[in-house]
Structure 1
């Protein structure tokens, strides 16, 4: 399994989020690219020094999101990710580009030497806050093949946060998980209703019974509740590691270190 080749036998792995500052051309853009890179690398080094298992870079400050991802976003993310790889040469690294820029994320990962991406809209359609999202697995995997990036893993969100799933209300989370596995996803991501909100434990249990690929919890994991999700293959943690527990604030070393100390004890 590629997941084990990347992370080893550790379970659950912990992936910390680097939310890069708003990129050129977006409404919140204020900083020069050089400073955005510097701050991203600083947060990546905090994670590394605190003993994190992996890092994911994301352009979450580019609100409001759009399905059009300009070349300036892809180019800047590639530059940022290359710098983060240089700062963390040994850690597993991933990237997500909002919104639904999964092909661009693959291209960035390939250029920067990253190991995985987080993909939205992999199977089934849903309505997100930025509009209708259609399934992309077929096109995305063909693109991965075409650019020679098959070593880059794709972790797919299912029943994704910030979205309405009424159009697929007759498709259970376990059936969605099976579809993602059938469509060759390298792993699944389960979330709560929004950023920082807890995932439903019942969804984790259903998916564990339904698929053999890794399952990651993609929102709401904290120092206080991690035991509830300890059977998952991994945690993707952003808000909890930030000042005051808000995703837009800076990463705090002590929060990451305390979290890692506890999860290492639970692994035993």
Structure 2
């Protein structure tokens, strides 16, 4: 039976489908520059795949539940729709190597905000989900004017038969002005992302590595039926308090050897976050 008018039908929890753990920790695998990037230096995709598998192993062998694979060194980032075939191909092959070790609970994020490219890579690799930073509405970022990708991505996902791939969508996206005009509250943006068929919502700080406030997490959680996770700023000092208010977190900078997103994952720092989270 269809839901009453004005009420979103409740989805099965994508977090429960993908992960065995109730409070999920996801490590970010930030890949070196890929083919097509200005900083690419000719490494084979096999070599890049080995890097990704090593990073993933550091996370999961020290208490994390899974990882998300990101082309974070493909700077400056392209806008959605501008990524070449080489990006989807490289991300698919590299992610498939990680999936071979961890299974379908692995995620994919092609920056910036490339929903269709992420879905193509995830589906070809057997990964279970993608992260899309701007799912509904629009904002101004370093890349320029960025529009929500929900309509294009959901249609493309269905067209290639990739409906099982879940979408983790940021609500208050980092690295940009949060609205073109200040007329959309956090509650309204949360409801927009759910209405546009996201599966999991993400709360973040203002930049990579910046802490997400408890108020931001609660403000999203209280206006959605979907699972909510944190997308930036988790460290051993705040992970327990923040996880108490949501379903999980994506962790990067605090788990890196140099405390920055561009470092290698450090076993001791990964373990410190996991222990603080009660893993």
TM-score range, shorter chain: over 0.9
Structure 2: distance between partners of 1:139 and 1:25: 23
Which structure 2 residues correspond to residues 5-84 of structure 1 after superposition, within 5 A?
Answer: 5-8=17-20, 10-33=21-44, 34-67=46-79, 68-84=82-98
Structure 1: distance between partners of 2:147 and 2:186: 17
1:165 to partner: Cα distance: 2.1
Q: Deviations over 1:46-80 (max 9, x none)?
A: 11211211110000011111122111111111110
1:154 to partner: Cα distance: 0.1
Structure 2: distance between partners of 1:25 and 1:5: 34
Structure 2: distance between partners of 1:62 and 1:197: 21
Q: Give the match's secondary structure for 1:175.
A: helix
8 Å contact 1:174–1:203 — kept in the other structure? Answer: no
Q: Does 1:238 align with 2:252?
A: yes
TM-score (norm 1): 0.94
Q: Does 1:227 align with 2:240?
A: yes
Q: Give the match's secondary structure for 2:180.
A: helix
1:25 to partner: Cα distance: 2.1
Q: Of the candidates 188, 191, 203, which is equivalent to residue 201 of structure 2?
A: 188
Report runs of 4+ in structure 1 exceeding 3 Å deviation: none
8 Å contact 1:123–1:137 — kept in the other structure? Answer: yes
RMSD (Å), alpha carbons = 1.4
Aligned length: 263
Match of 2:273 in 1: 259
Q: Deviations over 1:109-149 (max 9, x none)?
A: 11100010001221000001111111221221111111111
Structure 2: distance between partners of 1:11 and 1:167: 36
Q: Which runs of 5 or more structure 2 residues have no equivalent in the other structure?
A: 1-11
1:100 to partner: Cα distance: 1.8
Q: Of the candidates 16, 22, 33, which is equivalent to residue 4 of structure 1?
A: 16
Q: Does 1:212 align with 2:193?
A: no
1:227 to partner: Cα distance: 2.8
Q: Which one has a larger percent helix, Structure 1 or Structure 2?
A: 1
Q: Which runs of 5 or more structure 1 residues have no equivalent in the other structure?
A: none
1:259 to partner: Cα distance: 1.5
Structure 2: distance between partners of 1:24 and 1:206: 40
Q: Of the candidates 121, 131, 138, which is equivalent to residue 108 of structure 1?
A: 121
1:212 to partner: Cα distance: 1.0
8 Å contact 1:216–1:235 — kept in the other structure? Answer: yes
Structure 1: distance between partners of 2:153 and 2:135: 8
8 Å contact 1:16–1:47 — kept in the other structure? Answer: yes
Structure 2: distance between partners of 1:151 and 1:31: 34
1:87 to partner: Cα distance: 2.4
Q: Does 1:165 align with 2:188?
A: no
Structure 2: distance between partners of 1:42 and 1:243: 14
8 Å contact 2:205–2:232 — kept in the other structure? Answer: yes
Q: Deviations over 1:161-186 (max 9, x none)?
A: 11112414210111101111111110
Distance 1:168 1:185, change over 3 A: farther
Q: Give the match's secondary structure for 2:172.
A: coil
TM-score (norm 2): 0.90
